Structure 1
Amino acid sequence: MAKKVVILGAGYAGLVCALELNKLTTAQEVEIILVNKHDYHQLVTQLHEPAVGAKEQKDVTVSINSILGAKKIKFVQDVVVSIDKAAQEVTLEHNKLSYDYLVVALGSETEYFGIPGLKEYSFTLKSVNQANRIREHIEDCLKSYNQDKKDSKLTFVVGGAGFTGIELVGELADMLPKLAAQYNVPKDKIKLINVEAAPMILPGFDEELVAIAKKSLEARGVKFIIGTPVVQVEPGVVHLKTGDTISSDTMIWTGGVRGIPVVAESGFQTEPRGRAKVDEYMRALDEKNVWIIGDSCFVLAPNGRPYPPTAQISTQMGENAAVNIYSSMKHIKLEKFNPVLLGAVASLGRKEAIGSLGKKMKATGWLAYRVKDASKYRYLAKIGALLKS
């Protein structure tokens, strides 16, 4: 009788896991069920582009059914409510699913660090719908400025200077002047501010590349406030730990992630931010048939720091989980998660980027922009290769 594998989430980790497991097994061996709340896969590494109108929703989403085609993967569009480990059952909003093996790849949600007003009065960038809301809000601010002349409508604050924050700032730096011209707003009135609690932007990047990125963005009008936490957000006002305030109708928060609540609520062991602890095979601790991958889990790299929540890491987690589920079914040795880090690239807007390609090679400017395109589509290429196999 075929084993039933239920995969929760069709982000990079979950989708690659499903496709890889499909390649490794036959229909007689396994029934694969992929659950996702949307009927599309989101290219979350590109959400900063529709957020400023540089791309449309259709450019950053891919139909799940078009990806799966005729493969032996059943897609269920539904929302996960709870997981019963003892009964080996997942409760959805409209259904229940039993499983022999479970993969939890539900992603993450925004971490607000208990900052008063931050959740209520800021935008976040973790989905296409959120990107669309940011774009609409920015356009509304520019449209209405000439009616009331409120400077706060032309002051845009991005909290957090990691990958997402800096890539969004880069897009805004390029697009806001164009939008200002479109809506007949004085360009010199626009302020773009990036606030970061840590002492530097883009943690993990080479200091030389960080300096290049900062210089490029500052040349396009970005003001950085580094080493200064946000302590409160009110309508129209961002409060900083220094006691200073920023009058702004737009606060976009990219400052951290935490685990989806259903993981901790279902009894899995988690770290303080609610991300699941896993063993070296990506299995939930003390569980032999549950894998937790992608942004839903917490894994330390050899340097003692957690692996970053990137598509590059997530796709490799998906591959590893698929291999180990197959190995468990066949009662053969499991494979430890040991990702190959291919470098990292951060977009700085329409025409610039920085990148580190391995330990020795660095790239900036137009070269890195071309590398960036290849890097971001590498994950789709991986999915495409699995589709053909």
Structure 2
Amino acid sequence: MKEIVILGAGYAGLRAARELRGLPGARITLVNRHAFHYESTELHTVAAGTREPEVISFDIRQSMGPTVEFKQDSVTRIDPEQKKVFLQAGPVPLSYDYLVVALGFESEDFGIDGAREHAMPLVDIDSALAVRQHFEARLAGFKTTRDENDLRLIVCGAGFTSIELLGEFAYRMPSLIELHDLPKDKVQLIALESAPKLLPMFDAHLVDYAVGYLAARGVQIHTSTTIKKVVPGGVMSEDRTFDANTIIWTTGVRGSHVIADSGFVAKRNRVNVEPTLALKDHPEVFFIGDDSAVLDPAGGRPWPTTAQLAIAEATHAAANIKAHIAGKPIADFKFVSKGTVCSLGPSSGIAQLSGRGSMKFEGHGVAFLKKLVENGSLLEEAGFAKMLDNFS
């Protein structure tokens, strides 16, 4: 009996388990610190309050069925020489013949002073709810405090997640302003970005549409603005301080701290894997998703970590494990992006899809397109009932 252990039940880990479950002669064990899977690409909707956690999550045991053994626990260390995984609660380490590491991402503060202490990350459902509750409490308390910083929200970073988050907040602000009888002209949604341009994965006219759409709804985006320090109630750049009592940190992510704790050679906790997605000198260990750095042969740089890439890697790693068990050669990973969809709130967005040429979309129709993408994933991972629940 081959022991296959999968660490993490995000997009990558869940897909790997799904591809491997029912494999003859193998026992599949899936380890995750939560009993539920959540759609991490939709955390911004929970943070802004346009969706509830139960809409973007589902029970792992129910989705996997009886052919996958699920352990709810936190991984503390991996020992590839002894082929063991050490768990926080489990007194006995897990032994494996094959290991898939898909532990997900953590917030990256790049060592910026005060970021960890005074800014709120957006990495899971708990942190998303913390953002929502903090900002809504500040808005509700304004009548008492009269502190205009309670009406200001700063998003540090203006990458993909940041733009989607700002779109959700911009959509919701009119109802919050009305609910708390706030002075509309004092409410500010601010983004600070060190790069001179936004969303490099999109054509310029789509970026212009997104920026214009957000600006028309009161969002201020400051590009070429490097963050030097975060202090209580403010963010300091090179030449000024931006004041706000809600500061959200979305400048980037890194892989799980377990990578560093286990002594793997990595950059930002992302392991450079072989073209097969296996660890060098350990063909039985695969790193996928946010914990792996997979080079794009065309550019020589790692592919950006996305749900689409994670799912493709998981499918490939599972196929290579099956091949290896069967005594067949394993294959190199090849990836062709299907394109990118960026929401600007529940009712608009931009999209650039691959096909014959490149298909580009903007406006209200993109919201429906993203819904189709989300529900395709839910249908595969959680089933038809959950997909219908999400579509309602």
Is the TM-score greater than 0.5?
yes
300, 324, 327: which is aligned to 1:331?
Answer: 327
- Which secondary structure state, in structure 1, belongs to the residue aligned with residue 30 of structure 2? strand
List aligned pairs for 1:232-251, cutoff 5 A: 232-241=229-238, 243-251=239-247
Kindly indicate whether the alpha-carbon contact (under 8 Å) linking 1:8 and 1:105 is maintained by their aligned counterparts in 2. yes
Q: Which amino acid aligns with 2:308?
A: Q
- Which secondary structure state, in structure 1, belongs to the residue aligned with residue 321 of structure 2? helix
Kindly indicate whether the alpha-carbon contact (under 8 Å) linking 1:312 and 1:379 is maintained by their aligned counterparts in 2. no
Structure-1 residue corresponding to 2:314: 318
Q: Which amino acid aligns with 2:28?
A: I
55, 61, 68: which is aligned to 1:73?
Answer: 68
Long gaps (5+) in structure 1:
none
Per-residue CA deviations over 1:267-306 (Å, capped at 9, x if unaligned) read 32212x1211101111122211100100011112122332
Matched, 1:357 2:357: no
Distance in 1 of aligned mates of 2:256 and 2:26: 27
Per-residue CA deviations over 1:247-268 (Å, capped at 9, x if unaligned) read 1111111111112121133232
Kindly indicate whether the alpha-carbon contact (under 8 Å) linking 1:281 and 1:335 is maintained by their aligned counterparts in 2. yes
Long gaps (5+) in structure 2:
386-392
Identity within the alignment, %: 39
Structure-2 residue corresponding to 1:376: 374
List aligned pairs for 1:73-92, cutoff 5 A: 73-92=68-87
Kindly indicate whether the alpha-carbon contact (under 8 Å) linking 2:8 and 2:102 is maintained by their aligned counterparts in 1. yes
207, 226, 232: which is aligned to 1:229?
Answer: 226
- Which secondary structure state, in structure 1, belongs to the residue aligned with residue 12 of structure 2? helix
Q: Displacement of 1:323 after TM fit?
A: 0.4
Q: Which amino acid aligns with 1:310?
A: T
Structure-2 residue corresponding to 1:32: 28
Distance in 1 of aligned mates of 2:173 and 2:301: 36
Q: Which amino acid aligns with 1:52?
A: A
Distance in 2 of aligned mates of 1:231 and 1:376: 36
Structure-1 residue corresponding to 2:294: 299
Following TM superposition, the consecutive aligned residue runs of length 4 or more in structure 1 with deviations greater than 6 angstroms are: none
205, 214, 217: which is aligned to 2:214?
Answer: 217
Structure-2 residue corresponding to 1:277: 272
Matched, 1:125 2:108: no
Distance in 1 of aligned mates of 2:179 and 2:383: 42
**RMSD, matched Cα:** 1.5
Kindly indicate whether the alpha-carbon contact (under 8 Å) linking 1:200 and 1:226 is maintained by their aligned counterparts in 2. yes
Q: Which amino acid aligns with 2:160?
A: F
Per-residue CA deviations over 1:75-121 (Å, capped at 9, x if unaligned) read 00000011111211111012221111111100121110111001110
Q: How does the TM-score come out when normalised to structure 2?
A: 0.94
- Which secondary structure state, in structure 2, belongs to the residue aligned with residue 199 of structure 1? coil
Structure-2 residue corresponding to 1:348: 344
Kindly indicate whether the alpha-carbon contact (under 8 Å) linking 1:19 and 1:386 is maintained by their aligned counterparts in 2. no
- Which secondary structure state, in structure 1, belongs to the residue aligned with residue 301 of structure 2? coil
Distance in 2 of aligned mates of 1:77 and 1:384: 18
Size of the aligned set, in residue pairs, is: 380
Distance in 2 of aligned mates of 1:41 and 1:65: 10
- Which secondary structure state, in structure 1, belongs to the residue aligned with residue 4 of structure 2? strand
Kindly indicate whether the alpha-carbon contact (under 8 Å) linking 1:8 and 1:104 is maintained by their aligned counterparts in 2. yes
